[in-house]
A and B are shown apart, each in its own frame.
Chain A
Amino acid sequence: MTTQSQLISLPSRLPRLLNRLSKRLLNVTAPLLGIGVFLLLWSAAAANIETSLGSFPGPQAVFQQFGQLWQEHSDEQVREQAFYERQEERNAARLAEDPNYEVRIRDFNGRPTFISQIGTSLITVLSGFLLASAIAIPLGILIGLNQFVYMAANPIIQVLKPVSPLAWLPLVTIVVSAVYVSDDPMFEKSFVTSVITVTLCSLWPTLLNTAVGVASIESDFNNISRVLKLKSLTHVRKIVLPASVPMIFTGLRLSIGIAWMVLIAAEMLAQNPGLGKFVWDEFQNGSSESLSRILAAVLVIGLVGFLLDRAMLWLQKAASWDKSQVLR
């Protein structure tokens, strides 16, 4: 019986199975094909572009460059380790000679490598983004709750929103130099400048989306809050904030995209260590390797931007109660 039914069912299931398999295959092959075509076009075009720094690097040159950048990074790490070992030995020797010797530990002062620059950029962008969110979400709620505040704030928001980071940067640099004065600064000035520039440029989408989300809360929800006589802070915490979570996240996702774009430009000009500075240094350096190193940076910048967006999307999906909202 079973063998017979299997015999019957297998051919009938086969087309569906093949269909599903081909769909799965398509999901993999289509992107691969796209990447393949892009690489071909790139190498064809690269071979035909002669620059002052030699021919434009193709995919292979950039791929090799990645290997080299990684090598430089591990070499630097080895040197760092050796530096600290030497220091420790030296200090131990001095202590043996003179027990009253005050041990001083010096920091390793190596060059920032490509990999460490990625780390710096990530820390900077996240700091700027968090600062922007910490300002934009409460302010957006305030603006969304009160029509008068909205009307008062709107013209300023609309004018400041489109300002380029390159216009903010000189102002921020000078103001930070003047205001951020400390004998033992917790952060580098260049870091503070970059963070503030990122904040100034990336807070607008979160601000506006939060305000719209708060202003468009269903009137029934507000009525419930009135019947329950919720205090204003409880009203914000229990009704307003959760109700506008989907819109807030839409804003946050736009903001982090802008933050990352702005950061690279800011780092270039502020000379804050990071991917932007890496690109700028290579541009100034102008060696035969520079172009492929810049291209490697371009690819990493794109990839990190993509990953940041995916991370926000994942967060949005986890935090949003509105499962009918289409997210992609």
Chain B
Amino acid sequence: MEHTLLELSQVGIEFPTENGPFCAVQDINLKVKKGEFISLIGHSGCGKSTVLNMVAGLNRATRGGVVMHGKEVTEPGPERAVVFQNHSLLPWLTAYQNIELAVKTVFKSTMSKGEMKEWIHHNLNLVHMTHAADKRPSEISGGMKQRVGIARALAMKPEILLMDEPFGALDALTRAHLQDSVMEIQEQLNNTIIMITHDVDEAVLLSDRIVMMTNGPAATIGEILTVDLPRPRNRIAMAESTDYYQLRSQVLSFLYEKHSKIEPLKKERHKSNRPEAVVSEAS
């Protein structure tokens, strides 16, 4: 049970800029167990996506390393499937074909044509999208697109599923619906999942652990909160659970008391735009 699938040790990344290197995140240490659901939460710009991209292999850590099965992650691969924020389905392919591209690429030597077809339909069915298999992304709603995006990622049989704010662009009702779907699927398949979110309720409802990040630059892990609410979880039952509120307020207090990020409502006016500044400069 205590098998560590993925380990981040002293992970940090620097991006070169005109004003010297910019350290986005540093000293990230995290062990992810098999079957665990982990949420990354933090204010925007704190480097959550950067951490996820390093696990995915889309960005390469400049310090420390991401290790999976004892091997360092150096490039992306289907065993670390990503669900992107904007679904990013290929618009010229139908829902079925989008998943087919993934399945054909990943399982070209291990599955027969019939097995592939069955597997694609199985995954469409898992996200309740069988009825729209032959629709193109432009013909279905945002929530449906995200479902197909999840199905595509699941169809790669990933060892770990990486979700970058998967429900961020959806309305509240659709979001709740998809959260339930993800819980249901995770219960069935026991996937290991790392999910980025802004939403405190979403984090508490779905996660086994919530990783709370400090503000950037040079962001790192502030606290890790273990959510030991019993599964299966029900959002309505949770609404009455004091444990739930306890956990929720811990996350809130981290985000808004310990590491609040107050963005000025109005940006400070550019001084050079002010007439007197221009005059003083000219004189």
Contact = CB atoms under 8 A, between A and B. Distances in A.
Bind each other: yes
Interface of A: 218, 220-221, 223-224, 226-230, 234, 238-239, 242-243, 245, 321-324
A221 B80 contact: no
A227 B80 contact: yes
Given A223-B82, A223-B88, A322-B91, 15 more contacts: A218-B88, A220-B84, A221-B88, A224-B88, A226-B57, A226-B58, A227-B77, A227-B78, A227-B156, A228-B78, A230-B105, A242-B93, A243-B90, A245-B92, A321-B92
A218 B138 CA distance: 16
A10 B81 CA distance: 61
A99 to B, nearest CB: 62
Contact of B90 (A224, A226, A234, A323): A224
Nearest to A323: B138
Contacts of A322: 91
15 contacts: A223-B76, A226-B75, A226-B76, A227-B58, A227-B78, A227-B82, A228-B102, A228-B105, A229-B76, A229-B105, A230-B105, A234-B105, A239-B90, A321-B91, A321-B92
A220 B86 contact: yes
A228 B152 CA distance: 11
Contact of A229 (B56, B77, B92): B77
A216 to B, nearest CB: 14
Contacts of A323: 138
B78 A229 contact: yes
Interface of B: 56-58, 75-78, 80-82, 84, 86, 88, 90-93, 101-102, 105-106, 136, 138, 156
The SS class assigned to the B binding surface is loop
A206 B136 CA distance: 27
B107 to A, nearest CB: 11
B276 to A, nearest CB: 43
Nearest to B162: A227
Nearest to A229: B77
B116 to A, nearest CB: 14
Contacts of A228: 78, 101-102, 105-106, 156
A289 B106 CA distance: 71
A243 B88 CA distance: 12
A227 B92 contact: no
A230 B76 CA distance: 11
A273 B152 CA distance: 57
Contacts of B91: 321-322
A229 B80 CA distance: 11
A226 B136 CA distance: 22
Nearest to A239: B90
A242 B92 contact: yes
Contacts of A221: 88, 90
A235 to B, nearest CB: 10
B81 A227 contact: yes
A224 B128 CA distance: 23
Contacts of B82: 223, 227
Nearest to A319: B92
Contacts of B77: 227, 229
Interface centre among B56, B76, B81 (most CB of A within 10 A): B76
A234 B101 CA distance: 10
A241 to B, nearest CB: 10
Contacts of A242: 90, 92-93
